[in-house]
A = this chain, B = another copy of it.
Amino acid sequence: MGLFFPVDPAPGAKIGGMIAMSCSGTNAYRYGTMKEWVISLTAVLADGTVITTRKRPRKSSAGYDLTHLIIGSEGTLALVTEAVLKVTPLPTNLHVGKATFPSLQAGVDTAIAILKSGHLLEAIELADKPSIASINHSKLAKEHFEETPTMFVKFAGSQETVSSQISFVKNTCKDNKGLEFEASSDKRRIDVIWGARKCIGNALVTMKKAPTDIFISTDAAVPISAMAELIKETNNIIESQPFDTSTWFCANVGHVGDGNVHTAIVCPVEDKEKAEQVLVEVQRLALRLEGTITGEHGVGLKLRDMLVEEVGEAGVGVMRALKKTLDPRGILNPDKVFRLEGEKGARTGRLEKL
């Protein structure tokens, strides 16, 4: 019917999980996240009460925004059973582009120049050299890509809009030491280029040298103005480790259109703690840059002890109070997002006792 649901997370995501995590993906810069595309929810509370957060108006100011309270609550407040979603007309005249750079910084500078220009592309993604190497290594893409930092972009709209955007992006790449630039509306070429971008998540996992190797990644997001520093300092953090990282594989891939960068590490399982500590440092860096520890993946168990660094004791305190009000016995996905019992819970290992 010429319509689509624009939230575009990694392949495999389901609507329920997307609501739970308030997820997004490559289209978030242009279209927003689940927060912007869910109109209402029907959900079962811990005591069996069924609520419908609203009917189907495109907008509403009727009482507290229970829809958004549930989106991103990771199953801890209610069990979602129905969702009303918005759809929007499919982009017309779709073109996909790819630009290569001698350094990741050059790619970041280009992306920021595009964002500042006011040209509203459909998507702006950036992958560093190791990410591109993982695509080639995985054989998940339909061609071999030159292993250098690469920007993936999408254009849509009238012919004049797209032509002017493509020419602006091409010139901006050139001004920022760009190596090669191509853009195409050919369906097969779009599949090859965008397919390469979309496979990166799976491609990174194929960099494991042993089946026991671990794959972990960050989900930091910062204001656009701080993105260059996030990427530069992230590399500094990894390179300055005092221990042997020669057996590690590290890559950065970013939804640079909205300041969200995933730093991935594949390493031997015996380095797990060290690698996790590196990611914690990257997350703290994101917070110093006024960003978030998770732009789209959610908190879960992994980030729950860092959430307090983002929203403070007071913020987590409010979340915990809301949880206790709606789920006093703690039966819905307990101890995710934050520990039900607070710091005391951390010490006594409440999870084991449940």
Contact = CB atoms under 8 A, between A and B. Distances in A.
Interface in A131-163: 157-161
Interface string A49-69: 111111111111111111011
A211 interface: no
A214 to B, nearest CB: 22
A54 B158 contact: no
Nearest to A78: B318
A22 B63 CA distance: 10
A60 B164 contact: no
A299 B92 CA distance: 40
A57 B321 contact: no
Contact of A258 (B58, B260, B303): B58
Contacts of A290: 55-57
Interface string A263-278: 0000000000000000
Interface string A6-33: 0000000000000001111000110011
Contact of A66 (B35, B62, B299, B319): B319
A242 B107 CA distance: 70
A31 to B, nearest CB: 11
Contacts of A314: 45, 49-51
A204 to B, nearest CB: 20
Assign chain A's interface to a size class.
35 or more
Contacts of A223: 56-58
A287 B56 CA distance: 9
A78 B157 CA distance: 42
A296 B337 contact: no
A61 B161 contact: no
A326 B318 contact: yes
A192 interface: no
Interface stretch (A169-177, A183-191, A304-312): A304-312
A164 to B, nearest CB: 6
The 7 A-B residue pairs with the shortest CB-CB distance in the complex, in nearest-first order: A89-B118, A160-B160, A68-B68, A60-B292, A57-B221, A55-B290, A56-B290
26 contacts: A2-B118, A33-B59, A45-B318, A49-B318, A55-B290, A56-B222, A57-B259, A58-B223, A58-B224, A59-B221, A59-B258, A59-B295, A60-B221, A62-B299, A62-B311, A63-B307, A63-B310, A65-B68, A65-B72, A65-B73, A66-B319, A68-B68, A89-B118, A89-B120, A158-B158, A158-B164
Interface of A: 2, 21-24, 28-29, 32-33, 35-36, 45, 49-66, 68-69, 71-73, 77, 89-90, 92, 118, 120, 157-161, 164, 219, 221-224, 258-260, 286-287, 290-299, 303, 307, 310-312, 314-319, 321-322, 324-326, 337-338
